[in-house]
């Protein structure tokens, strides 16, 4: 008789909007808030869609439009009550709030070519399949990014790219763009926001939410 050494870590679909698919072993799961997500589940968001995975310790992974994420590991070991969670961004992006890790616990978010390990921080991971480029952007705290035989610690305010041949150079992240007259009352049928340009920016990423805490995006 085999001994049971771990149980599933608690992961669930906290919120979603638009076209979101939950698939495991080629079978679609019921799409509803609070549904449990176990190892092997893939979450795919379509155009103008969004999903958020919630876990222990106030951890979360926000999945914006046109992204695909797989839960590789979601375990809590019985011998020491430590978690082992690994999420992989297969396409698009994931924005992560990691739990405070103690002892031998592990929380990792990666792509097909790089893995980011954390112990409580906020960061973003992206992957471009056609270009085989992985991106890590650290918002708060510190992370360790590993690709192949290389490994680098990356601090808040910096980003790091990775390719199949290893890690790139760290770069300071650009500041967030400011909205012009952000608090104006919107009276037209189409909401309109003006952005103050940021030097060096190639594009801008925006999010709209129905709540002040940006949970339901």
pLDDT digits (tens, 9 = 90+) for 95-144: 999 988 877 888 999 999 999 998 789 999 999 888 889 999 999 999 99
Closest by Cα among 139, 93, 148 to 118: 139
pLDDT for the residue numbered 4: 61
Whole-model pTM?
Answer: 0.83
Place of tokens 């925006």: 206
pLDDT for the residue numbered 21: 96
pLDDT tens string 26-83: 899 989 999 999 999 999 999 989 999 999 878 999 999 999 999 999 998 888 888 8
């Amino acid at each position: 008789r085999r001994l049971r050494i771990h149980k599933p870590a608690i992961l669930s679909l906290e919120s979603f909007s638009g076209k979101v698919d939950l698939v495991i072993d080629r079978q679609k799961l019921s799409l509803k808030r609070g549904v449990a997500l176990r190892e092997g589940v893939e979450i795919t968001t379509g155009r103008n869609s969004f999903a958020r995975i919630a876990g222990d310790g106030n951890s979360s992974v926000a999945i914006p439009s046109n992204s695909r994420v797989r839960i590789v590991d979601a375990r809590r070991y019985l011998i020491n009550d430590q978690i082992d969670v690994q999420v992989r961004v297969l396409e698009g992006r994931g924005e992560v709030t990691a739990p405070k890790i103690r002892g031998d616990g592990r929380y990792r978010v990666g792509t097909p070519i790089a893995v980011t390990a954390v112990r409580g921080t906020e960061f973003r991971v992206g992957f471009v399949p056609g270009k085989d480029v992985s991106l890590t952007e650290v918002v708060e705290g510190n992370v360790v990014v590993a690709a192949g035989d290389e490994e680098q610690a990356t601090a808040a305010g910096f980003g790091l790219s990775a390719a199949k041949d290893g890690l790139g150079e760290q770069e300071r992240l650009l500041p967030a763009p400011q909205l012009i007259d952000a608090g104006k009352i919107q009276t037209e049928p189409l909401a309109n926001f003006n952005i103050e340009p940021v030097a060096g920016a190639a594009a801008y990423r925006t999010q709209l939410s129905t709540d002040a805490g940006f949970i339901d995006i």
